[in-house]
Amino acid sequence: MLRIDGVSHAYGDVISLRDVELTLEPGEILCLLGPSGCGKTTLLRIVAGLETEFEGSVSFNGGNLRGIPAHRRGFGFMFQDFALFPHMSVAENVAYGLRRRGYSRRECRERAAALLDQVGLAGQDDRDVAALSGGQKQRVALARSLGPHPRLLMLDEPLGSIDAQLRDQLALDLRQIIKREGLSAIYVTHDHREAYAVSDRIAVMNIGSVQQHAKPRELYHSPRNSFVARFLGLRNIFPISEDSPFMRFAAYRKAQNQGFSAALVHPTGIFLEREPPSGAERFAATLSAVVFRGDSCDVRAALPGGTPLYFAAPELEAKPGEAIELFITREAIKLLRD
Partner 1 sequence: MRRYLPPGEYLLYTLPLVFLGLFYIYPLLSIFDISLRPAGLLDLSAFLRLIESDYYLGTLLFTIYQAALSTAFTLLLALPLAYVFARYRFRGKSILLSLASLPFVLPTVVVALAFAALLGSKGLLNDLLRTLFTLEYSPLQLERTLTIIIIVHVFYNLAIALRIITGYWASIGFETEEAARCLGAGALAIWRDIRLPLIRPALLSAGALVFIFCFTSFGVVLILGGIRFATLEVQIYYQAVSIFNLSLAAALSLVQILSMLAMMVVYTQKQKKLHLTMASSRALARPVRSAREVLVVLSCIALIALLLFTPLLALVFRSLFAAGRFDASAYAELLVKTRASLLFVAPIESVANSLRYAILATAGALTLGLITAFMVQRPGRLAKLADPLFMLPLATSAVTLGFGFIVALDEPPLNLRSSWLIIPISHTLVALPFVIRSILPSLRAIPPSLREAAAVLGANPPQRLLTIDLPLVGRGIVVGATFAFTVSMGEFGASLFVAQRESVTMPVAIYRLFGDPGLVSYRQALALSVILMLVCTIGFLLIERLRVAGVGEF
Q: Applying CB under 8 A, does 63 fall inside the site for partner 1?
A: no
Q: Applying CB under 8 A, does 13 fall inside the site for partner 1?
A: no
Q: Minimum distance from CB of 84 to partner 1 (Å)?
A: 7
Between 44 and 234, name the residue whose CB sits nearer to partner 1: 44
Between 72 and 179, name the residue whose CB sits nearer to partner 1: 72
| DSSP3 helix / strand / coil % (the chain, rounded to 5) | 30, 30, 35
The 3 state secondary structure assigned to 145-214 is HHCCCCCCEEEECCCCCCCHHHHHHHHHHHHHHHHHCCCCEEEEECCHHHHHHHCCEEEEEECCEEEEEE
Amino acid at 140: V
**33 three-class SS:** strand
Q: Applying CB under 8 A, does 211 fall inside the site for partner 1?
A: no
Q: Count interface residues toward partner 1 (CB under 8 A).
A: 31
CB atoms within 10 A of CB 150: 19
Sole binder of partner 1 in the list 86, 294, 306, 314 (CB under 8 A)? 86
Q: Minimum distance from CB of 97 to partner 1 (Å)?
A: 3
- Alpha-carbon gap, residue 34 to 55, rounded angstroms: 21
Q: Applying CB under 8 A, does 41 fall inside the site for partner 1?
A: no
**201-206 and 29-33 as β-strands: parallel, antiparallel, unpaired?**
parallel
The contact mask relative to partner 1 for 114-153 (x = CB under 8 A, - = no) is ------------------------------xx-xx-----
Q: Applying CB under 8 A, does 66 fall inside the site for partner 1?
A: no
Between 99 and 230, name the residue whose CB sits nearer to partner 1: 99
CB atoms within 10 A of CB 31: 27
Between 92 and 194, name the residue whose CB sits nearer to partner 1: 92
Q: Minimum distance from CB of 53 to partner 1 (Å)?
A: 5
Q: Minimum distance from CB of 56 to partner 1 (Å)?
A: 16
Beta strands in the chain (DSSP E): 2-11, 14-24, 29-33, 55-60, 63-64, 76-78, 153-156, 185-189, 201-206, 209-214, 237-239, 262-265, 270-271, 281-292, 297-302, 308-313, 323-328, 333-336
Q: Minimum distance from CB of 79 to partner 1 (Å)?
A: 5
Q: Applying CB under 8 A, does 83 fall inside the site for partner 1?
A: yes
Amino acid at 332: A
Q: Applying CB under 8 A, does 52 fall inside the site for partner 1?
A: yes
Residues that bind partner 1 (CB under 8 A): 11-12, 48-50, 52-53, 69-77, 79, 81, 83-87, 96-97, 100-101, 144-145, 147-148
